[in-house]
Chains A and B, each alone.
Chain A
Amino acid sequence: EIVMTQSPATLSVSPGERATLSCRASQSVSSNLAWYQQKPGQAPRLLIYGASTRATGIPARFSGSGSGTEFTLTISSLQSEDFAVYYCQQYNNWPLYTFGQGTKLEIK
């Protein structure tokens, strides 16, 4: 099983600032990496797939990068609606796709 490790567990950032979230895979997942956003009481929402492609309707302030085992989600200028929990997921190792444990992005 590929273990996905996200860091930090909690990130405190002020509105308008930049947030950088990390996701590391225990072995290479190529670019088969997605990011999801989850707000309280809601289902997760797809943000990024293929490590760097924004999903439909996702604002340009969200960007993803990386390949192999190291990945980053960057939110360039935090808006109030961006404070949420973010998960990475690898879909390289069929049929065992795994999620990271999540990073909570909170208002500083």
Chain B
Amino acid sequence: EVQLVQSGAEVKKPGESLKISCKGSGYSFTSYWIGWVRQMPGKGLEWMGIIYPGDSDTRYSPSFQGQVTISADKSISTAYLQWSSLKASDTAMYYCARPILDCSGGSCYPYYFDYWGQGTLVTVSS
């Protein structure tokens, strides 16, 4: 059974750093991309970026480039989302999700998300 288990809720102060995690199991972790999605309080879903743990190829949405860092440790099947200096506006629920991989066109691309983590609530407040 495919599972994505995220780390627990965090409460931080502005300016602090943070790294949250997403552990994959039940599938070959290095063969699938892992994406991160933000959901601010009462708002919609925002695609942040995505990483391929097999070779650490990472892509970011322009809105999040330079604001967060996505990484992965394939030895422990875990992806990470980190901030070096949190702001109050980073307060949100963060989901990791695994997209299905489509190789029908010769090259392989991640597509829609078929598995999601349970979410990690990050609260940034002074």
Contact = CB atoms under 8 A, between A and B. Distances in A.
B88 interface: no
A43 B117 CA distance: 7
A101 B46 CA distance: 9
A51 B119 CA distance: 26
Contacts of A91: 99, 110-112
B50 A49 contact: no
Interface in B62-80: 62
Contact of A43 (B35, B61, B119): B119
Given A32-B111, A43-B95, A95-B59, A87 B44 contact: yes
A101 B44 contact: yes
Majority DSSP secondary structure for residues of B touching A: strand
A46 B113 contact: yes
B114 A44 contact: no
B3 interface: no
Interface of B: 35, 37, 44-47, 50, 59, 61-62, 95, 97, 99-100, 109-114, 116-119
Interface of A: 1, 32, 34, 36, 38, 43-46, 49, 55, 85, 87, 89, 91, 94-102
